[in-house]
C-alpha cells in the first residue's frame, strides 16, 4: 500500500503541504492543469525554493489576479447570499487603496490594487489570513464572499478525479463545520472571503490532487506541534490555537513547542484531520520519495513539513501503530479504601481506558495509593471532574504517552463445559494471544463443579485450535 507520512517538523499549512508534495515528485504541470478546471478567478501558482536549517525545500504561493492571495478561508455570516467566485459586482465603483499584511512565516509587504464596490462610502474590515495575519478589505457583500454550498458545487463541477473531489469537499466541510460550531451558526450560514477562498481552494485541492498523482492510498500524520501566544483575527487577538483550529484538532495529538507563533493553520489542521487515517510515528515501509514544504518564518528548528512516501510491503511484519494516550495520576493517603471501588467505577463510566492502584509510602511513613487513570487525550477534563468529586485528592498530574495495541476481537468457543468468550489479539492478521473471559469461566466452572483453571485451560486450547497457531 502506498502511504504518505506527514512529518510536521515545523507545523502544517496548506501551502507547506502542497510544496512538500511537489517536492516529493507530484507533476506541477499536471497538477495545475487539473486545478485550472475549477471555475475560479484568474490565478497562477508561483513555485520557488528555500533553505531551512540547511535543508532545501519547495515554496508555493497562489497569485490571484496578479497579487499574492495569502489568505485563509475566513468565514463569516453575510447579510445576503453572495455570487460565485469571480462574479461581477453590481454598480461597480472603482477605488484604489493600499494595504499591508504580514505572513505567518515572517515577510511583510505593502501593495496597491483597485477593486470595485457597490456603495459610495468606504468601509474597512479585517479578516484572518491563512498564516495568522490580518488584511484590510472591503466586506460589503458585493461578491467578496461565498458559501460552503457554493464552494462544494464549484469542486463538484470541476474536471478533477471523483476521489479528489470527495476528499477536497470533506476538507472544506471540516473547515466550515468547525467555524460554525465556534460561532454558533449553521453550516449554510458560513461564508468564505473570495480571495482567501481562492488561495485555500488551490491549496486544499492541490494537496488532495497531489496525493492522488503520487498514488497515495493512505495518510499517516505525526503529532502536531503547537506554539503559544496570540494571533489577530476578525474578533481581535485569539490564543493559539484559535478556537476554530482547536475545534479542527479535536482527536488529533498535539505536542507543545516553546515557540511564539501559529504553527498549525486552519487549512493545515483541516487537511491533517480529514486526510490522516491515524497519528503517531512513521509506519514501517520502504521509502520511495521524500519532499519538503517550507514555511516562511525561521525557528530554532527547521520550519518544514516533510512528506515521506513509501510502500508497505506485504512480507514486512508491521508493528502496530502507536496511538496517543494521557496518564492521570494522584497520590492519596487520607481516603478510606472502601471509596476506591466507587471512584474507579465512575472513572470507567466517564471514559477511562484503564484504572489501577499502586501501593506507595508517603511522608510521615503513611501508607498510601497512587490512583492511575489511562484515557484518550480528549477525555481528560471529564475524568478530572470525577477524580475531584469521588476522591480526597487536592491535585493530580498528567502526562502524554504513546501506546501500541494488537488488533482485538471477541470470539466464542465451546469448552465442553459450555460457551466461553475469548479475547483475541492479532498482529497483521497473525494470532498472538487468546485470553478467556474470567467471568464466563467462573460461571461455567460453578455449573460443572470444577476448578476455574480447568475451564480457562479448555477455553484457551479451543481458541488456539479454532483460530490456528501463528
Q: What is the pLDDT of residue 460?
A: 93
Q: What is the pLDDT of residue 194?
A: 54
393 and 414 together in one domain:
no
Q: What is the pLDDT of residue 340?
A: 96
74 and 170 together in one domain:
yes
- Cell 468547525 locates to 178
3 state SS of 359 = strand
Q: Of the residues 288, 311, 334, which one is the last residue of a structural domain?
A: 311
Domain count, the chain: 3
In a domain, 97, yes or no: no
In a domain, 96, yes or no: no
Q: What is the pLDDT of residue 43?
A: 92
Q: What is the pLDDT of residue 105?
A: 40
Q: Of the residues 385, 404, 423, which one is the last residue of a structural domain?
A: 404
Q: CA-CA distance, 335 to 18, in Å (whole number)? A: 56
Digit-by-digit pLDDT tens for the chain (470 residues) are 899 999 999 999 999 999 999 999 999 999 999 999 999 989 999 999 999 999 999 999 999 875 555 544 444 443 333 333 343 333 333 333 333 333 344 333 333 333 333 332 222 233 333 333 333 333 333 334 578 888 999 999 999 999 999 999 999 999 888 888 888 888 888 887 654 578 889 999 999 999 999 999 999 999 999 999 998 876 678 898 888 899 999 889 999 988 888 899 999 999 999 999 999 888 888 899 999 999 988 888 999 999 999 987 654 445 556 788 999 999 999 999 999 999 999 999 999 999 999 999 998 888 999 999 999 998 999 999 999 999 999 999 999 998 888 888 889 999 999 999 999 988 877 888 999 999 999 999 999 999 999 999 999 999 988 887 55
pTM metric for this prediction: 0.56
In a domain, 102, yes or no: no
Q: At what angle do helices 194-213 and 162-183 cross, to 10 degrees?
A: 140
23 and 168 together in one domain:
yes
In a domain, 317, yes or no: no
| pLDDT tens per residue, range 250-299 | 889 999 988 888 899 999 999 999 999 999 888 888 899 999 999 988 88
Q: What is the pLDDT of residue 188?
A: 80
294 and 383 together in one domain:
no
In a domain, 104, yes or no: no
17 sits in which H/E element: helix 14-23
Its domain, for residue 351, covers 322-404
What phi and psi values does residue 54 have, to the nearest 5 degrees?
85, 5
In a domain, 110, yes or no: no
167 and 224 together in one domain:
yes
| DSSP for 272-328, written as a single string | HHHH-SEESSPPS-EEEEEEEEE-SS--SS--EEEEEEEE--TTSPPPPPEEEEEEE
Q: CA-CA distance, 414 to 421, in Å (whole number)? A: 9
Q: What is the pLDDT of residue 261?
A: 87
13 and 136 together in one domain:
yes
Residue 323, all three cell numbers:
496511538
- Cell 470527495 locates to 166
392 and 416 together in one domain:
no
194 sits in which H/E element: helix 194-213
221 and 360 together in one domain:
no
Q: Of the residues 388, 404, 420, which one is the last residue of a structural domain?
A: 404
CATH of the domain at 449: 3.10.20.300
205 and 271 together in one domain:
yes
Strand stretches in 86-159, DSSP E = 93-102, 108-117, 125-128, 134-137, 145-147
CATH of the domain at 353: 3.30.70.1380
In a domain, 50, yes or no: yes
CB atoms inside a 10 Å sphere around CB 155: 23
71 and 180 together in one domain:
yes
Q: What is the pLDDT of residue 236?
A: 78
Q: What is the pLDDT of residue 117?
A: 33
Q: What is the pLDDT of residue 197?
A: 76
304 and 426 together in one domain:
no
User: Exposed, middle or buried by CB within 10 Å (0-12, 13-18, 19+), for 329?
Assistant: middle
User: Exposed, middle or buried by CB within 10 Å (0-12, 13-18, 19+), for 161?
Assistant: middle
301 and 345 together in one domain:
no
Q: CA-CA distance, 8 to 19, in Å (whole number)? A: 13
In a domain, 436, yes or no: yes
Amino acid at each position: 500500500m502506498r502511504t504518505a507520512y506527514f512529518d510536521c517538523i515545523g507545523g502544517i499549512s496548506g501551502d507547506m503541504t502542497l510544496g512538500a508534495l511537489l517536492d516529493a515528485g507530484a507533476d506541477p504541470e499536471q497538477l495545475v492543469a487539473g486545478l485550472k478546471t475549477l471555475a475560479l478567478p484568474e490565478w497562477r501558482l508561483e513555485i520557488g525554493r528555500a533553505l531551512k536549517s540547511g535543508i532545501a525545500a519547495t515554496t508555493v504561493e497562489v497569485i490571484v489576479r496578479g497579487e499574492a492571495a495569502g489568505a485563509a478561508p475566513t468565514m463569516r455570516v453575510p447579510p445576503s447570499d453572495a455570487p460565485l467566485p469571480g462574479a461581477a459586482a453590481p454598480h461597480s465603483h472603482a477605488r484604489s487603496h493600499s494595504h499591508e499584511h504580514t505572513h505567518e512565516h515572517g515577510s511583510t509587504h505593502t501593495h496597491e490594487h483597485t477593486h470595485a464596490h457597490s456603495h459610495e462610502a468606504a468601509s474597512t474590515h479585517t479578516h484572518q489570513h491563512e498564516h495568522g495575519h490580518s488584511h484590510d478589505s472591503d466586506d460589503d457583500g458585493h461578491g467578496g464572499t461565498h458559501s460552503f454550498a457554493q464552494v462544494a458545487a464549484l469542486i463538484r463541477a470541476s474536471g478533477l478525479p471523483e476521489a479528489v473531489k470527495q476528499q477536497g469537499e470533506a476538507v472544506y466541510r471540516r473547515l466550515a463545520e468547525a467555524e460554525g460550531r465556534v460561532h454558533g451558526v449553521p453550516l449554510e450560514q458560513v461564508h468564505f472571503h473570495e480571495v482567501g477562498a481562492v488561495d485555500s481552494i488551490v491549496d486544499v485541492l492541490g494537496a488532495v490532487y497531489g496525493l492522488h498523482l503520487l498514488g497515495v492510498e493512505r495518510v499517516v500524520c505525526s503529532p502536531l506541534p503547537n506554539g503559544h501566544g496570540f494571533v489577530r483575527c476578525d474578533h481581535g487577538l485569539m490564543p493559539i490555537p484559535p478556537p476554530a483550529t482547536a475545534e479542527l484538532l479535536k482527536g488529533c495529538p498535539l505536542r507543545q513547542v516553546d515557540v511564539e507563533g501559529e504553527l498549525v493553520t486552519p487549512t493545515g489542521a483541516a487537511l491533517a484531520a480529514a486526510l490522516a487515517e491515524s497519528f503517531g510515528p512513521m509506519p514501517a515501509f520502504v521509502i520511495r520519495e521524500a519532499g519538503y514544504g517550507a514555511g516562511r518564518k525561521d525557528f530554532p528548528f527547521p520550519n518544514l513539513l516533510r512528506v515521506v512516501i513509501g510502500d508497505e510491503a506485504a512480507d514486512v511484519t508491521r508493528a502496530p501503530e502507536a496511538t496517543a494516550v494521557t496518564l492521570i495520576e494522584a497520590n492519596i493517603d487520607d481516603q478510606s479504601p472502601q471509596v476506591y471501588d466507587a471512584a474507579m467505577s465512575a472513572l470507567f463510566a466517564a471514559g477511562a481506558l484503564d484504572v489501577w492502584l499502586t501501593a506507595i509510602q508517603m511522608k510521615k511513613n503513611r501508607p498510601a495509593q497512587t490512583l492511575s487513570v489511562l484515557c484518550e487525550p480528549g477525555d481528560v477534563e471529564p475524568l478530572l471532574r470525577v477524580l475531584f468529586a469521588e476522591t480526597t485528592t487536592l491535585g493530580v498530574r498528567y502526562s502524554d504517552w504513546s501506546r501500541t495495541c494488537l488488533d482485538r476481537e471477541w470470539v466464542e468457543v465451546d469448552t465442553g463445559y459450555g460457551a466461553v468468550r475469548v479475547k483475541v489479539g492479532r498482529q497483521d492478521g497473525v494470532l498472538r494471544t487468546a485470553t478467556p473471559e474470567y467471568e464466563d469461566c467462573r460461571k461455567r466452572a460453578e455449573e460443572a463443579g470444577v476448578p476455574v483453571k480447568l475451564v480457562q485451560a479448555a477455553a484457551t486450547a479451543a481458541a488456539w485450535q479454532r483460530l490456528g497457531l501463528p
